[in-house]
A and B are shown apart, each in its own frame.
Chain A
Amino acid sequence: DSGVTQTPKHLITATGQRVTLRCSPRSGDLSVYWYQQSLDQGLQFLIQYYNGEERAKGNILERFSAQQFPDLHSELNLSSLELGDSALYFCASSSGTGGSPLHFGNGTRLTVT
């Protein structure tokens, strides 16, 4: 068990809808990362937060947004969903110090129909 909790495990929704994915990091970790895993794109870095502030941005669409709250949990909001957004979304956390490993949750599987 990595200590990172993601909810829900599965999400099925229709095109055009909006969903929110939630992540609770490991106790003591200040940094949260979001990744998207799809069959054709592999693991793509979306965004990183450190202690509530955005630290780095990757291939995140404008339709997607995220935030990290004062209690350090994070939410990833996906809106105007398209079929191509169907993927596994992973949250990871780390202490944020240089070279510290990321610890991953089990992911949320999003299916857009």
Chain B
Amino acid sequence: AQSVAQPEDQVNVAEGNPLTVKCTYSVSGNPYLFWYVQYPNRGLQFLLKYITGDNLVKGSYGFEAEFNKSQTSFHLKKPSALVSDSALYFCAVISSGGYNKLIFGAGTRLAVHP
């Protein structure tokens, strides 16, 4: 069965520093991988996706993610964090035969301190 793990409940980073939010996945077949962000009292917003091609994917708000097939990881990164990046981040996966059904990780709360 497909699954996603986000090993950190919370990540704390100082404004201006680089940030990484970790994600590992388990699927049969080729994975389609996504990152979403959730602000308080809002729905999830799509940040970026990996389907195929370059392992480094660029997305919204300066975020990028690196796909690593051998480590089955898809970590979210940003070179310089902003206080406004503080939110809940979800990694998600679709298996290639999965009718676009997204399976989400438990989420990682990112706190960026001034």
CB of B93 to closest CB in A, whole Å: 11
Chain B residues whose C-beta falls within 8 Å of the C-beta of A48 in the assembled complex: 99-101
CB of B77 to closest CB in A, whole Å: 19
Chain B residues whose C-beta falls within 8 Å of the C-beta of A102 in the assembled complex: 44, 46, 100, 102
Q: How far is the CA of A112 from the CA of B111 in the complex (A)?
A: 31
Binding site of B, secondary structure by majority: helix, strand, loop or mixed?
loop
- Give the total number of A-B pairs whose CB atoms are below 8 A apart: 67
Number of chain A interface residues as a range: 20 to 34
Number of chain B interface residues as a range: 20 to 34
Q: How far is the CA of A31 from the CA of B105 in the complex (A)?
A: 22
Chain B residues whose C-beta falls within 8 Å of the C-beta of A28 in the assembled complex: none
- Which of B34, B36, B46, B100 is within 8 Å of A96, CB to CB? B100
Stretch from A12-20, A68-76, A103-111 at the B interface:
A103-111
Contact (Cβ within 8 A) A2 B43: yes
A66 close to B (CB within 8 Å) = no
CB of B76 to closest CB in A, whole Å: 15
B103 close to A (CB within 8 Å) = yes
In the complex where A42-B106, A42-B107, A43-B90 touch, is A98 in contact with B100 (Cβ < 8 A)?
A: yes
CB of B18 to closest CB in A, whole Å: 25
Contact (Cβ within 8 A) B102 A107: no
| In the complex, per-residue mask of A87-113: 1 if CB is within 8 Å of any chain B CB, else 0 | 000101010111111111111000000
Q: How far is the CA of A101 from the CA of B106 in the complex (A)?
A: 19
Query: Please, could you name 17 A-B residue pairs with CB atoms under 8 Å apart, sorted by A?
Result: A31-B100, A35-B104, A42-B105, A42-B107, A43-B90, A43-B104, A45-B101, A58-B101, A90-B44, A92-B102, A94-B100, A97-B100, A98-B51, A99-B100, A104-B45, A105-B43, A106-B42
Footprint of B on A, CB under 8 Å? 2, 4, 31, 33, 35, 42-43, 45, 48, 50, 55-56, 58, 90, 92, 94, 96-107
Footprint of A on B, CB under 8 Å? 32, 34, 36, 41-46, 49, 51, 90, 94, 96, 98-107
